Amino acid sequence: MTAKSKKTALQNGTGRILFVSAGLMLVLMGGAVFFSPYLDSQLGNYKEVLFLGLAMVITCGSHWFLLETMQSPQTLSHTERVHATNEKLRYILNNITRQVESTLDNKGTSTGVINIVTDKLAVTLIECAEVLAERTAHLNATLQTGSNETLEMARETLLPLIDETADAITKYLNVGENVDAQLRERISKAQHLLLELRGALAEFAQQKPADSSAELSACIEQTGAMFDVHLKIDDFVNQQLEVVSNDTNESAIALVLHMRNLSDNAENLVRYINAAITKISAMDGGVNESVEFIVRIGHFIQEIPAKISADIHSIQGASGVIDGLSHLVDSIKEISFQTDILAVNASIQAAHAGDAGLGFKIVADEVRKLAVNSNQAAEMIETGLSEARKTIQDGLKFKFLDEVMQQMSEAARVMDVVQELENSHEDARQYYRTLFTVINQNNTKLAADIAEVLGSIQYQDIVRQRIERMQSATQRRNQLLLQFMEELERTNGHLADDFAEQMNIVLNDYIEQESYHGNSLNSDADNNQPPKFELF
Amino acid sequence: MAKILVIDDEEQLRDLLKQMLSRDGHDVTTAFDGVEGIRVFNEFKPDLVITDIIMPNKDGIEVITELLSKNPKIAIIAISGGRRAITAEFNLESAELLGVKGILSKPFTREQLREAVKHALGL
Amino acid sequence: MAKTILLVDDSVTMLMSVKNNLEINGFKVETAEDGLKAMEKLNAGLKPDLIITDINMPKMGGIELIKKARALPGFRFMPILTLTTEAAQGKRDEGKAAGATGWLVKPVSGADLLKIIKQVLPGA
């Protein structure tokens, strides 16, 4: 066994063993002092010295045992050591009892009173020792497992126990009331000593053990406090995990909903556009028909002037022929006039010739008739020609009117078609505007949904940071726990640092960190938070 | 019950709708085209707008787009009978894609109107 | 012409999410994973119309980046927005003192982000 381990053994919870052994020693000393008057009366001063010596030997022996106990190998657990100590204590006490008994037996002739007193005293001492041992074991157990309160309780039960011991002794002292005055004096002296002993014990119980248990209780207190904070950190971590879980959950749901919206919108739009394409081609058909008609009419109208000018041309040709014929009529008229003059002259010449000219006169008259007839014929031709011209001109007029009429009716249809076209155009305009508006609005919605989807993805980053803060806090906590364990081992519970306080710092840092990043999905409800957007 | 704005360029239908809805206990105001409709909307602040689609000046599609862009939650019922090549179906489908709460193809029954109004108001 | 935005964040998800949103809406986006990389880009001659930066980043955080960027010639009046999980007033004050134009706390919805960008980048 090394010096270090001895020192460790001494420090390691042996304060209570020292306390018990010192207590026992004092009780034995007291017992020795108390016994001495009886022995003195029987055996004289010599015996008293002997008894005291014996008591000292026993006390020293018990101390030796106790020290041996303290030096028990490190491999033994706390409980085992405590158990061993108790066993040895019991052994010592039995030993003491036997020694006292044998001392008294050796005396052989002691009076009944003394016998009773010593017997009872021995039993009381043994009982007290046993209770003491039991309480010590309990105390040890408490030190190992119990809380600060139970430790305090255990310490407090020691004091009444000592009182009990003292009371028991006093009570049994009263039994020997009939012992002579000298004896009484010694007894009262012993009582006085006992009282002093009790006082010393009480003081010892209050102070000495308080020192060692204060260390222990401080250690236990810190451990307890550390575990409290440990649990608090876990609680907070769990809260954050719940937030993280909710955030990711809600974010995932939001993503799914947005995606669903996107898909629905896209589907609706595709359906709508497909229907629109069908309608547009139907509408185009109507427009095409109208356009074809107008093109046809256009061609027709284009041809009209050419047709008219051709007609006019041919009629003008006819008029020319008629005019030519008119000149011919003039020629006929001229010829008939000349012929008439010729006939008149011939008739005059025939009259001059008398009967010889009679036949010639008949010819001349006939020629003159012919000239008149010719003139009449020419006039008839002229009338006929002018009538023909009039007829042609009239015919031209009528034909033109017909053309115009036809043109007018076609134009009237064109107007209808143009109206139809205008309607179609109006419809198409309305149609395309509606189409454009709907598609535009849906695109805006699609874009908004896409933007929201992209926004929702930010939660991955927020959650990642939250988990990182969580990891950092638990890491710091675990380091502190390791450090604490090492420190506990190294100092045997004489902790210099306030680990619980350090643990609290970890927790508070973590909580503070989280408060800087308050941004869960539902944090909008919290009005105490600074605004999410702020332009300086 | 509810404040309802009816926008339709057809006077007869406008009056009929007003009569029917008033009889059901609603507070009804009417407008004869989209421009007037928006103006009345801003003054009257109705709970529900019933609008025709094909109208002069500002058509129903424009009215719906404008109202919904200001407040996507406003309840609108689109009514349409179509015109020439533009079918009621197309108009109403367009309105539905823009986000109206209900559609009614002209002509409709009093009961259909009542149902549509109830649904649009979320009753 | 499309406005250029420099986006600085150590989270790849964050970069992906915001970059795509901005690109869909017609912006040109440059990215950097920390303040140091952002400064490298700026020193190499990148002149964005707007910088959006995270605060907590390895190597060089957002506050330091804002200070360094503001010191560059021609960066005095450039809008710089933060986009961070930091919500505490203390950090905000620090950001404001460093020269940040505005403070945005994650998550910012796509629509909200565009609204704010339009505020600090008129005509965007």
**Which domains does chain C carry?**
4-120 (3.40.50.2300)
pLDDT level of residue A141 (50, 70, 90 thresholds): low
Q: Nearest 5 degrees, angle CA A420-CA A424-CA A425?
A: 115
Cβ–Cβ < 8 Å for C44, C52: no
* B71 phi/psi in degrees, rounded to 5: -150, 105
Instruction: Give the per-residue pLDDT at B83.
Output: 80
- The C-alpha of A534 sits at a distance from chain C's nearest C-alpha, in angstroms, of 5
Interface contact A430-B84, CB threshold 8 A: no
Sequence-separated contacts (24+) of A523-532 with Cβ below 8 Å = A529/C87, A530/C87, A530/C88, A530/C89, A530/C92, A530/C105, A532/C87, A532/C104, A532/C105, A532/C108
- What mean pLDDT is predicted for residues A90-117? 53
pLDDT digits (tens, 9 = 90+) for A417-435: 777 777 877 787 778 888 8
The domain of B12 spans 3-120
**Tokens representing residue C13 in the block:** 């998800």
CA distance A310 to A317: 11
ipTM tops 0.95: no
Instruction: Give the per-residue pLDDT at B6.
Output: 92
Residues near A315 by Cβ (< 8 Å), separated by ≥ 6? A392, A393, A395, A396
Residues near C35 by Cβ (< 8 Å), separated by ≥ 6? C8, C53, C57, C59, C60, C61, C62, C64, C65, C68
Question: A153 pLDDT exceeds 70?
Answer: no
What is the arrangement of strands in the sheet containing B3-7, beginning at the earlier edge strand? Answer: B27-31, B3-7, B48-52, B75-80, B102-105
Burial of C94: CB neighbours in 10 Å, binned 0-12, 13-18, 19+: middle
Interface contact A276-B62, CB threshold 8 A: no
Instruction: Provide the residue ranges of all domains of chain A, joining segments of one domain with +.
Output: 3-218, 248-456
Give, rounded to a whole angstrom, the gap between the first and last alpha carbons of chain C: 9
C11: nearest CA partner in chain A: A461
What is the arrangement of strands in the sheet containing C50-53, beginning at the earlier edge strand? Answer: A533-535, C102-105, C80-84, C50-53, C4-8, C28-32
Of C103, C40, C41, C100, the C-alpha closest to C29 is: C41
Chains B and A touch (3+ CB pairs under 8 A): yes
**Tokens representing residue B29 in the block:** 């105001």
* B52 phi/psi in degrees, rounded to 5: -75, 160
Instruction: Give the per-residue pLDDT at C67.
Output: 94
Chains C and B touch (3+ CB pairs under 8 A): no
Residue listed under structure tokens 């965007």:
C124
CA distance A516 to A456: 21
Which residues of chain A have a CB within 8 Å of the CB of B86? 427, 430-431
- Report the range of poorest mean pLDDT among A29-38, A39-48, A98-107: A39-48
pLDDT level of residue A49 (50, 70, 90 thresholds): very low
Residues near A10 by Cβ (< 8 Å), separated by ≥ 6? A70
B90: nearest CA partner in chain A: A276
**Mean pLDDT over each residue of chain B, to the nearest integer:** 88
Using CA of residue A53, residue A55, residue A56, residue A58, what is the dihedral sign?
Answer: positive
- What mean pLDDT is predicted for residues C99-112? 88
Interface test with B, best of A289, A434, A437, A441 (most B CBs within 10 A): A434
- Report the range of poorest mean pLDDT among A36-40, A398-402, A516-520, C69-73: A36-40
Which residues of chain B have a CB within 8 Å of the CB of A270? none
**Tokens representing residue A367 in the block:** 């020629």
Q: How many CB pairs under 8 A join A and C?
A: 106
SS3 content of chain B, % helix, strand, coil (to 5): 45, 20, 30
CATH number at B23 reads 3.40.50.2300
B105 touches chain A (CB under 8 A): no
Chains in contact with B, where contact means 3 or more Cβ–Cβ distances below 8 Å, are A
Which range, A59-63, A66-70, B46-50, is most confident? B46-50
Of A194, A187, A174, A219, the C-alpha closest to A13 is: A219
**Tokens representing residue A524 in the block:** 């909008």
Q: Indicate yes or no: pTM above 0.90.
A: no
Interface contact A532-C85, CB threshold 8 A: no
Of B19, B75, B82, the C-alpha closest to B49 is: B75
CA distance B27 to A262: 38
When divided into structural domains, chain B yields a total of 1
Cβ–Cβ < 8 Å for A530, C87: yes
- What mean pLDDT is predicted for residues B64-80? 90
CA distance C32 to C10: 8
- What mean pLDDT is predicted for residues B32-42? 90
Interface contact A455-C17, CB threshold 8 A: yes
B91 touches chain A (CB under 8 A): yes
Q: Nearest 5 degrees, angle CA A25-CA A26-CA A29?
A: 85
Interface contact A460-C56, CB threshold 8 A: no
C2 touches chain A (CB under 8 A): no
pLDDT digits (tens, 9 = 90+) for A472-504: 888 888 888 888 888 877 877 677 778 888 888
Interface contact A430-B59, CB threshold 8 A: yes
Question: A13 pLDDT exceeds 50?
Answer: no
CA distance A265 to A445: 8
CA distance C105 to A26: 74
Cβ–Cβ < 8 Å for B19, B27: no
B92: nearest CA partner in chain A: A434
Interface contact B85-A434, CB threshold 8 A: no
Cis omega (within 30 of 0) for bond into A37: no
- What mean pLDDT is predicted for residues B85-91? 82
Superfamily of domain A248-456: Methyl-accepting chemotaxis protein (1.10.287.950)
Packing angle, helices C110-120 and C12-24, rounded to 10? 70
